[in-house]
Amino acid sequence: MVLCFRNLLYVNAQSLNFANRQGSARNITVKVQFMSGEDPNNAMPVIFGKSSCADFAKEAYTAVVYHNRSPDFHDEIKIKLPASLSDHHHILFTFYHVSCQQKQNTPLETPVGYTWIPMLQNGRLRTGHFCLPVSLEKPPQSYSVLSPDVPLPGMKWVDNHRGVFNVEVVAVSSIHTQVPVLSVQCLGYLTLI
Q: What is the pLDDT of residues 4-21, one digit of tens each?
A: 778 999 999 999 998 877
Q: Provide the pLDDT for residue 5.
A: 74
Range in 34-43, 60-69, 150-159, 183-192 the model is least confident about: 183-192
What is the Cα–Cα distance from 107 to 103, expressed in whole angstroms?
A: 8
Which residues have C-beta within 8 Å of that of residue 146, sequence separation ≥ 6? 118, 152
Summarize the chain as % helix, strand, coil (round to 5): 10, 35, 50
Where helices occur in the chain by DSSP H, the ranges are 180-192
3-state secondary structure of 65: strand
Q: Which residues pair with 60 in a beta bridge?
A: 32
Average pLDDT over residues 64-91: 91
Residue 135 has pLDDT above 80, yes or no: yes
Residue 188 has pLDDT above 70, yes or no: no
Q: Provide the pLDDT for residue 180.
A: 54
Q: Provide the pLDDT for residue 74.
A: 93
In CATH, the architecture of 7-192 is: Sandwich (2.60)
Q: Provide the pLDDT for residue 52.
A: 74
Residue 183 has pLDDT above 50, yes or no: no
CB-CB contact of 32 with 59 (8 Å): yes
CB-CB contact of 159 with 21 (8 Å): yes
Q: Provide the pLDDT for residue 168.
A: 98
Residue 108 has pLDDT above 80, yes or no: no
CB-CB contact of 158 with 25 (8 Å): no
Q: Provide the pLDDT for residue 161.
A: 93
